[in-house]
Structure 1
Amino acid sequence: MDQEFNIRGITNTRLDSPSADQSIGIFIDDVYVGRSGLLNSDFFDVERVEVVRGPQGVLLGRNVVGGAISIYTAKPEEDFGGAFTAEFGNYDSQLFNGHVTGTIAENLTGRLSFQSRKHDGYNKDLTLKRDLDNLDSFQARAQLMWEPDGADLTIRGIVDYSDDSSNGIHRVAIDDPNAAGQGPWSTTRDAISALLPGGLDIRESLPQSYRYTGDNSDQSQVLRREAIGVTLDIEKGFGDIATFRSITGYRTAEAYSMYDQTGIGYRNGFGVTPTPLAFSFPVLEDEEITQITQEFRLLSNGDGPLNWLVGAYIQEDDVDKFDKYLAEVPLTVLGTLSGESHWINNGETSSRAVFGQVGYEFADQLRGTVGVRWSQDEKTGTVSGLQIQTGDRYNPTDTVPLSPLITPFTDVAYSQTTEEVTPQATLEWEPNDSILTYLTYSHGYKGGGFEDTPANPAAATTPYNPETVENIELGLKLDLLDGRARLNTALFSMKYKDLQVTQTDDGCLCNITDNAADANIMGIETEMQWVVNDDLFLFGAVTLLDTEYEDFVDSNGLDNSGNELQRTPNYQFNIGGEYTADFLGNPDALTLRLSYAAQGELYWLPDNFQKEEAYGLIDGRVTYAPQDADWSVSLWGKNLADELYRTNIIAFLGDEVSTLGAPRTYGISFGYQF
């Protein structure tokens, strides 16, 4: 259910250790959201979204190494008003959202927003006869904003809540074409498929229910996540001197998930004896998260050539994480691989930073900025790794579960403190109102960390190093055709040192994070917008990347040097248009929008064995909204060509156990505003 954000070849990939930092920073109303369990990415009532590409080592509160996505929610307004939307589609999808805003008392405004989304699953669990990848989500946000007369003061308070649940994810085993012979789980699927009229569809799987030690009943796949956030944003102006801003954030969440990593097991209900090694391997994760952030900024005012900004940032994270792995294997197949491994990982992160930036306008056409940031991350915690005797149906007297995948240990302490100075400089030249060129150097940093599920005490106390990046970027922004067209182009080169790479190791059936010695990313991005006439608007963008690991030998001794970065397509592009026409006697009442987004092939892992072929997705929307009406109606569709693509794989013993993207969805939407 979590989304992986990718900017310029850098991806947030399964970084769920209590000590892990994200490569792509997510900010909501300038508050950093450090863990996926704190975030519901189904954003609503949004004013704007800003994407900052490349490392940001100075501003944005928290330093980020790959880029940032900043979500700014709509603020309260003085005039009373609101809007509501009701949407219905296939897979019995239902969406209801809306907001109400207005003045509550003198100088005090408020806004209340909500969103509810439900849909049936895109995939099927044949064992328990239920949907997978379904969704039941609710979100709400309440705001108050106080702006007293003559005080040059704004105080904005925000409280948000989200709760979403699902029956869990669909996992389907596909034979790895790079491996000798056929994998065990895909072979078992083929045997079951042969028994069914019409066969076993790729969107059908057979995950099973399991009973962990200490549980009273069998558990099946499930995902639950609940989060609460509080933000206090205070902005105070001091005339022509400066503006002070304080941004305080508190977020807490609990995330619980259980899923069958292979999507099929021995108790398949079809009388099929699975291929040897096609064992069941469910995973349970339970995580409680608390995050507190505080940022102070002092920004200069005035119209002179010199401007400046100074600030400080504090972040405290407390993450309690409980992981359970269960292997259910008949003794005749792999008797030692059975039972449970448990990890209790309690981690704390304290981050500190001070930063500053100075800008100067040398001439009307030439200006520059330089900035620097000092960051420190202290990561501490304790972790226990336990072997649990399960007495499962295949191994009732099992005394050495999961041997030798884990050596038991209790309350092993880990600790790491790192710091980095990250400078940034930009020079801008604007010869006229239609041309802007810039040259930027930036240095990015991301703290180190420790493994989520270490196999032994040595692994528990061995950190992976921080990663750093140096980025050089040359950009050009053009306004063309009397301002009706805009073209933005950027050339960039990023050199990473100690790039953190997380991948699944099928030797220990666990995730391992390594530091690639170095990695290089070179690329070009171009974006275009063109208002052809009053009725037609065209847009498009393309990104071309050349990526490479340098001198990267992972912890298993596999040499990945010279390979392309994992999960990074060598090209991405989107193109689309919007056409407005008169309809039913109403001028400019009908809007047709069509877009196509495509990406090239990518390799799922640093070894560059498994890959995803290039694919593209078509989305469309038709909206009827008379200019003098307070209502609208839209027909929409996503992935209109019903393209089959994958969002994740785990390479296991000759199989690619895959997660599929959403199929074709479509529906109708009704909007009302007042």
Structure 2
Amino acid sequence: MITSAIAIAAVLALGANAQTEETKDKKEEGAETSRTLETVLITSQRRESTLQDAAVAVSAVSGASLEKDRVLSYSDLARSISSLSYTENSPLDQEFNIRGITNTRLDSPSADQSIGIFIDDVYVGRSGLLNSDFFDVDRVEVVRGPQGVLLGRNVVGGAISIYTAKPEFESGGAFTAEFGNYDSTLFNGHITGPITKTLAGRLSFQSRKHDGYNKNFLTGEDLDNLDSIQARAQLLWEPEGDLSVRAVLDYSDDESNGIHRVAIDDPNAPGQGPWSATRDAIAAIVGGLDVRESFPQKYFFAGELTERGQELRREAIGFTLDIEKGIGDWATFKSISGYRTADAYNFVDQTGLGYRNGIATPTPLAFSFPILEDESIDQYTQEFRLLSNGDGAFNWLVGAYFQEDRVEKFDKYLGQVPLTALSTLSGESHWDNHGETSSQAVFGQIGYEFNEQFSGTVGVRYSRDEKSGKVSGIQVSTGDIYNPNDTVPQSPLITPFTNVPYSQTTEEVTPQATLEWTPNDVVMAYATYSHGYKGGGFEDTPANPAAATKPYDPETVQNMELGLKLDLLDGRARINTAVFSMKYKDLQVTQTDDGCLCIITDNAADANITGIETEVQWVVTDDLLLFGAATLLDTEYEDFVDSNGLDNSGNKLQRTPDYQFNIGGEVTTDFLKYKDALTARLSYAYQGEMQWLPDNFQQEDAYGLLDGRVTFAPQDADWTFSIWGKNITDELYRTNIIAFLGDEVSSLGAPRTYGISLGYKF
């Protein structure tokens, strides 16, 4: 695959060079200049550059483009970015996937992400605790592949960097109001301007609500509904000279009635599972059940007088201080300080079908297994950078990084199990887990320009991670309504324990080297070797004291990559391609243990990933823009025997589509007396078959999602009006499954949504 891609890249480069000469001839003949592609400035290499000048596989989406495609969340973003996909077990368990590498579920206080999430260059260690809907955003950058030098630990698959809009010294603002089906409303806006000659401010907010996409059949309550609010306040101080100080304070709060789970009979299982069989029995009694109806019920935990129903609550506060100071003509010093505190509460009925379903069923097969998670985090990060100003053949960067996390997590597991063969799942167990992570790093990078066409960059980072904590596994009760005399603790707890300490210290050196070739203004090619590292950790709900102190290992990756970037037709066409081969060692894999219906993390011995990705944009005429992207992956586990004793060697990596592509277009035309006032935009995102788990027994079939938007925006007006639709064809697809006892207990993606949007700028 890579050899073929190199040949294709060479042909494209030669063709691009010829195109440059042809364009020059046409311009000399007096051809009219045309609309060109948007130039997006990025900072993924810790220096400002254009997308086409950066020798890295990166996609950048401007705030204006996010608005055009109504990209409000990570799941929306995944539809438009090459090699990025997204699944989630719940809003707290977000699973990003870049190039086949999926985030380990962040159940444990010591767990780390595989895909780094950054907001204004501040690392967000527990992204699930943050309501990260996009609002008042300048741009989003998605870097693919390990970034072990500049971005550091836990960026083995790549990184998603969100850059919020800065305060401006010119007064202005904007407001948007949206109304849609499912009684959805969205209100957002910002105001910005000078406070003094050297101080500017910016206030922004967003309120978003919608009814549930799914229903509780018994109570009529919404499931997967949303009620959220976000706000951000900023100050930017730029006194005379080369000093800039930016302070950002943000707040978010959201809640819902929890998620919908529906049991689907696994076609590969030898027999039908208990939950899908019970659903079928209930459907026969009530005259049918819709796939978007389920029976999550309320439960009593030990010692409580009030039943708990499904509920999700999150609240987060963050503060960032960004200081930049020029040091003469030779360097710039930058300090980025970040603090984030967050609390989250999530109570979920894992099966979506309990024993008290209000309807008489032939047999009480559908046992219950609800989980309550109560989690909080305090995180502090500090990064210092010193960058050369880039004069001469050499450029360099040095820096240091520090991070301190304190996470407290309390889990309650409750089981009501009618099958005596599974009595170990009955009863109630609690886990109280307090973890701390301290991470330090130093890094440096140096670049040299050999001549006008060739340059090279090498860098290295040293990281040290210290993880420690205490965990208790508490046996609250053993029996349930079916097995009141059961004396076995509820799994996964085998032996109760109190305040068992755990600790792990790891160190890693992560180098990177890049060679860049720029033969002309049209072509840029690069070759990169990079090494990535992700910290190890400990289980969230260990079975006994021995399991509490047994860590899973860090994972590492070696990445080889070739990239080609072409800027054609005087800036009206753009083709970016990368081919890559990654070899992982001790890849961390999150999976469900059949013995306890619990989530554990294993190290797969090795994994190999090879792929190619391409992004294309073309301004066909001044009124027509076409765009698209595609990714093809070949993934494989090596020598991986999981916790259930199953050999997964040779299987495809979990939660990774075999291929993805997205295509779209935007047409602008006159409307009535208004010139270029009507814009229609359509995009289609498709992903191929995906294996849900390492055993490759359960698959998600290929599916595609169609989105569209029509906007009326007169050029001399301050207002806009839009009609939009998401998942226009109402495709049914899943965002997660739990495979157990012959069932695929599934979460569903959002159905067709549509609405109108009114915008005003001043």
Question: What is the match of residue 356 of structure 1?
Answer: 444
Q: Which amino acid aligns with 1:261?
A: Q
Aligned residue in 2 for 1:123: 214
The one of 1, 4, 21 equivalent to 2:112 is 21
The answer to whether 1:645 aligns with 2:725 is no
> Which residue of the other structure, out of 148, 152, 164, is the alignment partner of 1:73?
164
Q: Distance in 1 between matches of 2:676 and 2:306?
A: 60
Residues 1:479 and 1:524: Cα distance change in structure 2 (over 3 Å): same
Tell me how far apart the structure 1 counterparts of residues 298 and 483 of structure 2 sit (CA, whole Å): 17
Task: Look up the match of 2:408.
Answer: 320
- 1:450 is paired with a residue whose SS is coil
Q: Which moved more, 1:371-380 or 1:502-511?
A: 502-511
Q: For residues 544 and 673 of structure 2, what CA distance do their matches in structure 1 show?
A: 74
Task: Find the partner of 1:453 among 541, 547, 564.
Answer: 541
Q: CA–CA distance in 1 between the matches of 2:333 and 2:318?
A: 23
Q: Report the Cα offset of residue 458 of structure 1.
A: 1.3
CA distance in 1, matches of 2:397, 2:337: 18
Alignment check: 8 A CA contact 1:86 1:95 kept: yes
Tell me whether 1:157 sits opposite 2:243 in the alignment: no
- Using structure 1 for the length normalisation, give the TM-score: 0.98
Alignment counterpart, residue 107 of structure 1, candidates 198, 201, 211: 198
Counterpart for residue 334 of structure 2 = 245
Closer/same/farther in 2, CA of residues 559 and 335 from structure 1, 3 Å limit: closer
After TM superposition, give the deviation of residue 225 of structure 1 in Å: 0.4
| Runs of 4+ with deviation above 6 angstroms | none
Cα offsets for 1:215-257 (capped at 9, x unmatched):
2300010000000000000000012110000000000000100
What displacement does 1:480 show? 1.9
Tell me, in whole angstroms, the C-alpha distance in 2 between the residues paired with 1:337 and 1:436.
58
Distance 1:549 1:404, change over 3 A: closer
Deviation at 1:106, TM superposition (A): 2.5
1:554 positional shift: 1.4
* Percent identical: 79
2:227 corresponds to which letter in structure 1? D
Moved more, 171-180 or 211-220: 211-220
Q: Which amino acid aligns with 1:161?
A: Y
Any conservation in 1 of the 2:339–2:380 contact (CA below 8 Å)?
A: yes
1:192 and 2:282 are equivalent in the alignment: yes
Which residue does the alignment assign to 1:266? 355
CA drift of 1:214 comes to 2.6
- Residues 1:90 and 2:181 aligned together: yes
- Cα separation, 2, equivalents of 1:78 and 1:61: 34
**Is 1:208 the equivalent of 2:297?**
yes
CA contact (8 A) 1:636 1:666 kept: yes
Partner residue of 2:497 out of 401, 409, 421: 409
Aligned partner of 1:174 among 236, 258, 264: 264
Q: Would you say 1:518 and 2:606 are equivalent positions? A: yes
Rate the CA distance shift 1:363–1:88 in 2: closer, same or farther, 3 A: same
CA offsets per residue over residues 427-479 of structure 1, 9 Å max, x none? 00000000111000000000100011111111111100000000000011112
Cα drift, residue 180 of structure 1: 0.7
Shift of 1:63: 5.0
- Asked whether the equivalents of residues 372 and 421 of structure 1 are also in contact (C-alpha less than 8 Å), the reply is yes
Cα distance between partner residues in 2 of 1:88 and 1:292: 38
Shift of 1:6: 1.3
Aligned residues: 671
Q: Is 1:10 the equivalent of 2:91?
A: no
What is the deviation of 1:64? Answer: 1.2
Matched, 1:134 2:222: no
CA distance in 1, matches of 2:122, 2:421: 51
Deviation at 1:393, TM superposition (A): 4.3
Q: Match of 2:724? A: 636
Structure 1 residue matching 2:95: 3-state secondary structure: coil
CA contact (8 A) 2:713 2:719 kept: yes
SS state of the match for residue 189, structure 1? helix
Amino acid in structure 1 at the alignment position of 2:476: I
Q: Provide the C-alpha distance between the structure 2 equivalents of 1:483 and 1:291, rounded to a whole number of angstroms.
A: 43
3-state SS in 2 of match to 1:187: helix
Q: Are 2:657 and 1:566 aligned?
A: no
For 2:254 and 2:352, how far apart are their aligned partners in 1?
22
Distance 1:214 1:17 in 2: 26
1:328-339 to 2 correspondence within 5 Å? 328-330=416-418, 334-339=422-427
Q: Give 1:340 shift.
A: 0.5
Stretch moving more, 442-451 or 31-40: 31-40
1:587 has 2:678 as partner:
no
Tell me how far 1:128 sits from its aligned partner: 2.6
Q: Distance in 2 between the 1:238 and 1:545 partners?
A: 46
Deviations 1:561-598 (A, max 9, x none): 00000000110000000000001210110000000000
Aligned partners of 1:202 and 1:288: how far apart in 2?
Answer: 34
| Structure 2: segments with no counterpart, 5+ residues | 1-90
- CA 1:155–1:62: 2 relative to 1, 3 Å: farther
Aligned mates of 2:204, 2:266 — CA distance in 1: 47
Q: Are 2:323 and 1:218 equivalent residues in the alignment? A: no
Post-superposition shift, 1:40?
A: 1.6
* 1:73-111, Cα deviation, whole Å (9 max, x unpaired): 000001111000000000000000000000012200000
Change beyond 3 A, Cα 1:464–1:628: same
Tell me how far apart the structure 2 counterparts of residues 469 and 549 of structure 1 sit (CA, whole Å).
13
Q: Which region of structure 1 is more displaced relative to structure 2, 298-307 or 83-92?
A: 298-307
Secondary structure of 2:280 counterpart = helix
2:475 to 356, 369, 387: 387
Q: TM-score by structure 2 length? A: 0.87
Distance 1:330 1:553, change over 3 A: closer
Counterparts of 1:392 and 1:559, CA distance in 2: 35
1:273 positional shift: 4.1
Shift of 1:636: 0.3
Provide Cα deviations, 1:512-558, integer angstroms capped at 9, x if missing partner.
11101100000000110000010000000000000000011112221
1:331: how far off? 7.4
Cα displacement (A) at 1:641: 0.4
The separation in 2 between residues aligned to 1:32 and 1:611, in whole angstroms, is 33
Question: Do the aligned residues in 2 keep the contact of 1:576 with 1:596 (CA within 8 Å)?
Answer: yes
Amino acid at match of 1:175: D
- Counterparts in 2 of 1:262 and 1:91: CA distance versus 1, 3 Å: same
- Within 2, Cα distance between the matches of 1:533 and 1:516? 50
Q: What is the deviation of 1:131? A: 0.5
Q: Is residue 537 from structure 1 mapped to residue 630 from structure 2 by the alignment?
A: no
* Residue 58, structure 1, aligned to residue 184, structure 2: no
Selected match of 2:641 from 545, 553, 560: 553
116-125 vs 54-63, greater mean Cα deviation? 54-63
The reply on whether 1:228 has 2:317 as its aligned counterpart is: yes
1:623 pairs with one of 711, 726, 733:
711
**Any gaps of 5 or more consecutive residues in structure 1?**
none
Task: Tell me the SS of whatever aligns to 1:5.
Answer: strand
SS where residue 637 of structure 1 aligns? Answer: strand
In 2, Cα distance between equivalents of 1:216 and 1:574: 52
SS of the equivalent of 2:276 reads helix
Matches within 5 A, 1:470-549: 470-549=558-637
Equivalent residue number for residue 254 of structure 1: 343
Please tell me the root mean square deviation across aligned C-alpha atoms, in Å: 1.4
Ranked by relative contact order (alpha carbons within 8 Å, sequence separation 6 or more), the top structure is 2
Whether the 8 Å CA contact 1:490–1:526 is kept in 2: the answer is yes
Instruction: Give the C-alpha shift of residue 266 in structure 1.
Output: 1.1
Q: Say whether 1:47 aligns with 2:138.
A: yes
Amino acid at match of 1:171: R
Shift of 1:481: 2.3
Residue type matched to 2:345 in 1?
Y
Residue 598, structure 1, aligned to residue 682, structure 2: no
C-alpha distance in structure 1 between counterparts of 2:313 and 2:679, whole Å: 38
